[in-house]
């Protein structure tokens, strides 16, 4: 606990809140540039923990968003990166990865792009590191900047855990199965985020309600619940199960601070529970999102999407961006979203999401829900 920190009266609070120096056990998910300084600072200023999504950024960009966040909040926040399966995969440029893309897939992507009327982007990004391959250099910046919480998705934190521990930071890993949970703890994770398949973005096969008790039984570090948590009911249920916080993505997409276009936020508000689907058309890995012209075209294509890091480079070469920028284009921009999107019916400030979620959970946990009597 930080020296000034007090347990907030009447709100849910866990030992992990002490460790992270936060007031309420609500963490906003790293979601690429969508989770930028504005969203992260708003969540941290509201008493939760905001986490920057830095996977697609160059090391200089990572430094710049960390510094911008510090201008907006003096509260703790974290940085999230997609880690490669093996660090030897690090440092490949977009150009190098592009040279490995089979002709058949180039032709398919070019045909889909032409059918959709997408102008091929200029070749300016060939020297950039390909998605998920620059973790070593990104980690160096996060360490230099003294960020207190590091969140790793997909791969193992093994190659970075010791350095973060020496710096006094907390290492968090996102997993989708009990086996992965045990592996990341062995590799140095201090906290495990267990995400059910209903979550937005990269996702596994096991549902949240089945996954959480099994991960809680399998590891002896704090477990954070993720996948389909969008209000105080999800927070209360997670805490009752024994989790120490929630990691929330989709609910924060429909906030004023989220770095996506207005039509993308409107898409979340309009979505039903069954609207999000799993597609490999953007990142090469299973990614839950609202379908669009690009994903539908790949569903019907003669070839399967390539694995990461090839498919993101192919998508980038064709579309110019993975589409998580503010100026995203309807029909081709990636629209990550989980099944909880159906619950979301308004765009509010991120602080309001934190406030409502904590207050509703507190009421339920105090036994005021009424339905048990």
Ligand X SMILES: Cc1cc2nc3c(=O)[nH]c(=O)nc-3n(C[C@H](O)[C@H](O)[C@H](O)COP(=O)(O)O)c2cc1C
**According to the binding rule CB under 6 A, does residue 243 interact with ligand X?**
no
Total residues at interface with ligand X (CB under 6 A): 28
**According to the binding rule CB under 6 A, does residue 53 interact with ligand X?**
yes
- 336's CB contacts (< 8 A; 6+ apart) are 31, 34, 200, 201, 249, 250, 253, 287, 288, 289, 324
Binding segment for ligand X (CB under 6 A), chosen from 41-49, 70-78, 197-205, 209-217, is: 197-205
The phi, psi pair for 225, rounded to 5°, reads: -85, 140
Q: Which two tokens stand for residue 139?
A: 């980690």
Binding segment for ligand X (CB under 6 A), chosen from 30-38, 71-79, 103-111, 163-171, is: 30-38
CB atoms within 10 A of CB 274: 9
**According to the binding rule CB under 6 A, does residue 112 interact with ligand X?**
no
Cβ(196)–Cβ(211) below 8 Å = yes
Q: Which of 37, 176, 227, 232 binds ligand X (CB under 6 A)?
A: 227
Cα gap 136→284, rounded to integer Å: 21
**According to the binding rule CB under 6 A, does residue 153 interact with ligand X?**
yes
CA distances from 59 to 64, 128, 145 (A): 9, 10, 11
**According to the binding rule CB under 6 A, does residue 340 interact with ligand X?**
yes
CB of 252 to ligand X, least distance (A): 8
**According to the binding rule CB under 6 A, does residue 11 interact with ligand X?**
no
Q: Which residues of 24-38 are buried (b: 16+ CB within 10 A; e: fewer)?
A: bbbbbbbbbbbbbbb
Binding segment for ligand X (CB under 6 A), chosen from 126-134, 210-218, 220-228, 303-311, is: 220-228
Q: Which of 195, 279, 318, 333 binds ligand X (CB under 6 A)?
A: 195
- 287's CB contacts (< 8 A; 6+ apart) are 201, 202, 203, 278, 279, 280, 334, 336
Binding segment for ligand X (CB under 6 A), chosen from 83-91, 156-164, 223-231, 315-323, is: 223-231
CB of 365 to ligand X, least distance (A): 20
- Pick out residues in 58-87 that bind ligand X (CB under 6 A): 80, 82
Give the residues lining the site for ligand X (CB under 6 A): 29-32, 34, 53, 55, 80, 82, 153, 174, 195, 198-201, 226-229, 247-250, 336-338, 340
């Amino acid at each position: 606990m930080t020296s000034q920190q007090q347990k907030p009266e009447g709100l849910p609070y866990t030992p992990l809140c002490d460790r992270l120096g936060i007031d309420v056990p609500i963490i906003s998910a790293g979601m690429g540039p969508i989770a930028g300084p504005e969203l992260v600072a708003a969540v941290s200023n509201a008493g939760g923990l905001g986490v920057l999504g830095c996977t697609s950024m160059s090391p200089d960009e990572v430094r710049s968003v960390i510094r911008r966040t510090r201008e907006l909040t003096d509260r703790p926040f974290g940085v999230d990166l997609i880690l490669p399966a093996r660090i030897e995969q690090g440092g490949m440029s977009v150009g190098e990865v592009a040279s490995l893309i089979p002709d058949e897939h180039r032709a398919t992507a070019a045909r889909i792009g032409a059918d959709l009327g997408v102008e091929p982007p200029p070749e300016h990004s060939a020297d950039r590191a390909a998605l998920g391959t620059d973790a070593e250099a990104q980690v160096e910046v996060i360490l230099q900047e003294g960020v207190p919480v590091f969140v790793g998705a997909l791969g193992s934190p093994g190659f970075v855990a010791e350095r973060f521990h020496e710096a006094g930071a907390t290492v968090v890993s996102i997993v989708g199965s009990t086996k992965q949970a045990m592996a990341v703890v062995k590799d140095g994770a201090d906290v495990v985020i267990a995400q059910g398949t209903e979550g937005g973005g990269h996702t596994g096969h096991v549902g949240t309600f089945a996954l959480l008790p099994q991960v809680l039984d399998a590891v002896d570090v704090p477990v954070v619940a993720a996948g389909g948590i969008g209000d105080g009911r999800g927070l209360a249920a997670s805490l009752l199960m024994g989790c120490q916080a929630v990691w929330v993505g989709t609910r924060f997409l429909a906030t004023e601070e989220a770095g996506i276009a207005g039509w993308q936020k409107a898409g979340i508000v309009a979505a039903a529970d069954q609207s999000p689907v799993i597609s490999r058309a953007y990142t090469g890995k299973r990614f839950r999102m609202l379908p669009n012209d690009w994903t539908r075209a790949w569903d019907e294509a003669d070839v399967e999407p390539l694995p990461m890091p090839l498919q993101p480079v192919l998508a980038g070469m064709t579309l110019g961006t993975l589409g998580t920028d503010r100026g995203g284009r309807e029909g081709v921009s990636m629209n990550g979203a989980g099944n909880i999107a159906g619950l979301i019916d308004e765009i509010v400030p991120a602080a309001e999401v934190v406030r409502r979620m904590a207050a509703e959970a507190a009421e339920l946990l105090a036994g005021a829900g009424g339905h048990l009597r």
